[in-house]
Amino acid sequence: MTDTAPPDRAAGDAAGVVDEFAHIPRSRGRHPIVAIAGALLAFFLVFHIRRDLRYALSSGQPVELGRASDVFGSGRASSGLENRYVRVSGLPDRESALQIDTKGSWVFSQLFRVLGTGDRLFLHRRQSPLPAALAEVDRFEGRLIRVDDLTFAASIRSYFSTHVAATHFFTPEALARALAGRQPGAPLAVMDTSGDTVSLDERETVAIDVTQPDEVKIGLPRDRFATEDAARAALAAHGGQVVKALGSIKAKPATAAPESGPLSSTAEPAQRWTFVVKFPELAEQSALDTIGDLGRDVEIRDARQTIEVKLEEISAAPEAPGALVVRPGQGSPRPLAAPSIAAIHTMAPVVIPPDAYLLVEGDAPREHLPTVLIALILVMFGAVNLVGLARELGRS
């Protein structure tokens, strides 16, 4: 018995062969829009991680930049350094450093600026606790990126400008030069001792520490002198004339490693009877040597007076370099010679400039090698979608 082919059999079919699946409709492929969307999404993600991909493929040998102040100082060009593994040295500003913690964990990291760079270089130290080898040297290795490339750049700029302030010290000569060229109503640009240029408003408060050349600040321990009168009598016995009594002042605790053991404790800081004292000029040094031998807790310092004035109440004296004239409360002028000025300092907010950089310490290119694998998978996914789209278009 022989099978006969149906009359609607396609041309070219073998005689006597029946296609038993001919009645099953062929499934439709994916819509072209779905394939195009999948390919575009894959390639967009590759484009989005292009910086990490380029950094992962870069050299693992750090680029030696030298001193941070020479590379990132005010007015110096530093383009072409972003997204590279670098090594740089500099003095960190630990006073205005931030402690960053991740919510839900006890891992803390540090974020601070590097002095002498005009606030153009910040450092993120991720390691916690910090190894002793890194804490002992001010040399940093890591990935250098622009602050503007961070997703939280606007937030960190706003936080620093409103919540973080740093102390700036100025030499009398630098402040006098800036005051001599001051424009009325305009902010005053002054370079501090670290090399950073600080913009100060006229209403900014400036503290000037003035030395008293013929006076000495002496602190005598309370455990040796029970009363203030006894301490005063000891100074008088060595030829000292008390100008001012400052009372009992607790010494600042010294930073030291804690003793081991569950019951260890830090010793209570010593308290001292503190005075501002005058001595006869010829006998001053011998008297101070004798007073210093009274005990190891005796403190002898230069006597200083701190004058706090507004910037608009300070002017430069033309007769000598670095000489200033202050008018506290717009009162009578008081001339200050440069040798008598021990320090000039003020607090100013930390403003991150548009061309600032962030160095992520310890972020080496090898840590981003998984990015290369992710990029390859995304490229393959996009290519498969495009090949499938081409086949569908070719069949239609």
Question: Which pLDDT does position 217 carry in this prediction?
Answer: 92
Using only C-alpha atoms, what is the Rg of the chain?
A: 37
Residue 46's pLDDT is 92
SS3 47: helix
Q: What is the pLDDT of residue 173?
A: 92
Q: Is the pLDDT of residue 146 over 70?
A: yes
39 in a structural domain:
yes
Q: Is 108 helix (H, G, I), strand (E, B) or coil?
A: strand
Is 51 contained in some domain?
A: yes
Least confident of 8-12, 66-70, 389-393: 8-12
Residue 84 carries which side chain, given as an amino acid letter?
R
Please state whether the peptide bond connecting residue 129 to the residue before it is cis, i.e. omega within 30 degrees of 0: yes
Q: Give the domain extent around 53.
A: 32-57+371-395
Q: Is the pTM of this model over 0.85?
A: no
In a domain, 380, yes or no: yes
Q: How confident is the model at residue 1, as a pLDDT?
A: 47
pLDDT band at 260 (very low <50, low <70, confident <90, very high): very low
**Token reading at 193:** 């001792």
pLDDT score of 253 more than 60: no
Question: Does residue 222 lie in a domain region?
Answer: no
- Looking at residue 263, its pLDDT comes to 42
Checking if the pLDDT of 202 tops 60, the result is yes
pLDDT at residue 74, rounded to an integer = 61
Kindly state the average pLDDT of the residues 257-282: 67
Q: Which of 19-23, 76-80, 259-263, 381-385 has the highest mean pLDDT?
A: 381-385
Q: Is 257 exposed, middle or buried (0-12, 13-18, 19+ CB in 10 A)?
A: exposed
Cβ neighbors of 345 (< 8 A, separation 6 or more) are 167, 168, 169, 170, 206, 207, 209
Residue 49 lies in a domain: yes
Residue 37 domain flag? yes
Average pLDDT of the residues in 326-349: 88
In a domain, 69, yes or no: no
Domain-located, residue 355: no
Q: Look at residue 196 in the predicted model and tell me its pLDDT.
A: 87
Please give the mean pLDDT across all residues of the chain: 83
Q: Choose the weakest-confidence range: 21-30, 236-245, 283-292, 321-330.
A: 21-30
Confidence class for position 264, pLDDT limits 50, 70, 90 = very low
Quote the number of domains for the chain.
Answer: 1
Cross-strand partners of 198: 190
